Structure 1
Amino acid sequence: MATSFDEHERSMWAGKATAFERSVGALCAYPADHLLDAADVGDGRRVLDVGTGPGTVAARAIGRGAAVVAVDAEPSMLDAVRRRVPAAEVRHAILPNLPFSDECFDAAVSNFVINHVGDPAAAIAELRRVVRRGGRIAVTIWPDPQPPVQRLWGQVFDAAGAQRPTDMLALPEDKDFARTEDGLSGLLREARLKDVRCEVVSWIHRVDPEDWWSGPANGIGKAGFMMRSQSPSMIARIRREYDQTVADYRDVDGLLALPAAALLACGTV
């Protein structure tokens, strides 16, 4: 059953596929091949991509010869997958209740999704349910402490003096977990996965400054939720602080070079 946190998250992403692809799509795409390697995705494997977004991971899995079922809770994302990845079977589905029988996949992957669900432990348990014995599960999340690519927005909002909205929901303490290697590994072990391991994947995200600004400006993620609560004059102040802050990250070609990192955990059913 959906929690208030789940509903809050879905409202933030409703209709956001195009804005997502422009702003953070490439950022989220970087660990895709690491994720597929960790899940042992290759030719002939039947793979479930949960929270597929615009279908980046699904497309790469199909490129490896896998048969892919791609699911997401957001209809605009599913429309994007149907256009971009016609070889994928596309379904609407919401964790932790997937419309599949037990043990019907060889692997399940979930790229930056577990951090957006109201019951992360139940979500991992549901992935385990639909993967056959000996199959693999791999997930990514953003780490804590945050890398500069994400910490930047908090710095910008604080420098501008923006007030945090009071209606932004957080996970209840009994559902939350530490966004660390040990915390994410523990989540997988609680679901009785074997051979669990977790690693930090680091990279430099290169992006046009206007594309990076467009994410929060179009309501993407928590930064977008915060931006929507500001007055026009405050948004103008935030923009000035943004321009000053990102100057330190501009490369010679004008793109931003933002250090990024993700946690990647995997295990065997």
Structure 2
Amino acid sequence: MAATAFDEYERSRWAGRATAYQGSFAALCAYPAGALLDAAEVKVGDRLLDVGTGTGTVAALACARGAGVVAVDAEPSMLELARRRVPAAEVQHAELPRLPFAEDSFDAAVANFVINHVGDPMAAIRELRRVVRPGGRIAVTIWPYPAPPAQQLWTTIFDAAGAERPTDLPRVAPDRDFPRTSDGLSNLLRQAGLADVGCDTITWNHRTDPESWWNGPANGIGSFGLVMQRQTADTIDRVRVQYELHTAAYRDADGRLALPTAALLASASVS
């Protein structure tokens, strides 16, 4: 199956950015890792596929649980960092929706904030189903829509600074998209042929250094990073001023940010 324009766009956004990601938004994405593995019922001796491993956060936690982990990602810089961080895992290049594994190769598969970044979500879930044995488990996380406060904050900052938004971005085709809600994600898994589907909303306050939260977009990470890259130097200066103003309400006594956020975690069984 050929990559969509959205897939190519997403891969271009992450190219060479593993270190920048690790120093900014990786801690945000790491929060549900334990719950993700619990939902997939990962235990000692299981063979686990971690799709879109990024810098290896979920893979490392699964290895610590005694699972045999195969961790894959589409981005070479992520793979390089994951190999260094998680030497116990088998780390290799692979891209959804076509994985280089035989049917029924794994006891479980997880994808932490990966379905947000694929052009054909249904095909991606079906591919996870293909490589997991009957009776095995699949668990995924996504960011919900409407966006939680931590992500909405950047929209507020860009609007206040008068930042121009890109209008030429590819999107998931309407006939392949799904509502980024609990019901929408649950229905996606059911329609992919999975059973015993459940979905929970996880909420937490992401605590981070203000510079780390700034450095994600400033280094081109994600869609907010693209917005930042499209601005003039003067506009970026205005964005920084608005950043300081709008993050002030979220600063603790120690100066760190406490940003309310949320994720959807769905899991299911392979029948």
After superposition, residues 196-207 of structure 1 pair within 5 angstroms as 196-207=197-208
| Aligned match of 2:33 | 32
Work out whether 1:102 is the aligned partner of 2:103.
Answer: yes
- Offset at 1:169? 1.8
My pick for the range that moved more, 61-70 or 165-174, is 165-174
Aligned equivalents of 1:173, 1:248: Cα separation in 2: 37
Which one-letter code corresponds to 1:160 in the other structure?
A
- Offset at 1:145? 1.3
Aligned equivalents of 1:172, 1:209: Cα separation in 2: 35
User: Gapped runs of 5+ residues in structure 1?
Assistant: none
Which one-letter code corresponds to 1:29 in the other structure?
A
After superposition, residues 189-268 of structure 1 pair within 5 angstroms as 189-268=190-269
| Aligned match of 1:9 | 10
Aligned equivalents of 1:211, 1:57: Cα separation in 2: 21
Aligned equivalents of 1:242, 1:174: Cα separation in 2: 36
User: Gapped runs of 5+ residues in structure 2?
Assistant: none
Percent identity, aligned pairs only, is 66
Q: Aligned pairs, how many?
A: 269
After superposition, residues 124-203 of structure 1 pair within 5 angstroms as 124-203=125-204
TM-score by length of 2: 0.99
> Match of 2:23, SS?
helix
After superposition, residues 65-144 of structure 1 pair within 5 angstroms as 65-144=66-145
Which one-letter code corresponds to 1:171 in the other structure?
V
Find runs of 4+ consecutive structure 1 residues off by over 3 angstroms. none
Aligned equivalents of 1:166, 1:202: Cα separation in 2: 31
Aligned equivalents of 2:60, 2:112: Cα separation in 1: 13
| Aligned match of 1:51 | 52
Aligned equivalents of 1:169, 1:112: Cα separation in 2: 19
TM-score by length of 1: 0.99
Aligned equivalents of 1:16, 1:169: Cα separation in 2: 20
Cα shift readout 1:130-164 (whole Å, capped 9, x = no counterpart): 00000000000001111111111100000111110
Which one-letter code corresponds to 1:134 in the other structure?
G
Cα shift readout 1:174-207 (whole Å, capped 9, x = no counterpart): 1110000000001100111000000001111000
Aligned equivalents of 2:169, 2:250: Cα separation in 1: 29
- Offset at 1:260? 1.1
- Offset at 1:168? 1.8
| Aligned match of 2:62 | 61
Aligned equivalents of 1:149, 1:23: Cα separation in 2: 13
- Offset at 1:172? 1.2
Which one-letter code corresponds to 1:168 in the other structure?
L
Aligned equivalents of 2:152, 2:199: Cα separation in 1: 22
Root mean square deviation of aligned Cα = 0.5
Aligned equivalents of 1:267, 1:169: Cα separation in 2: 30
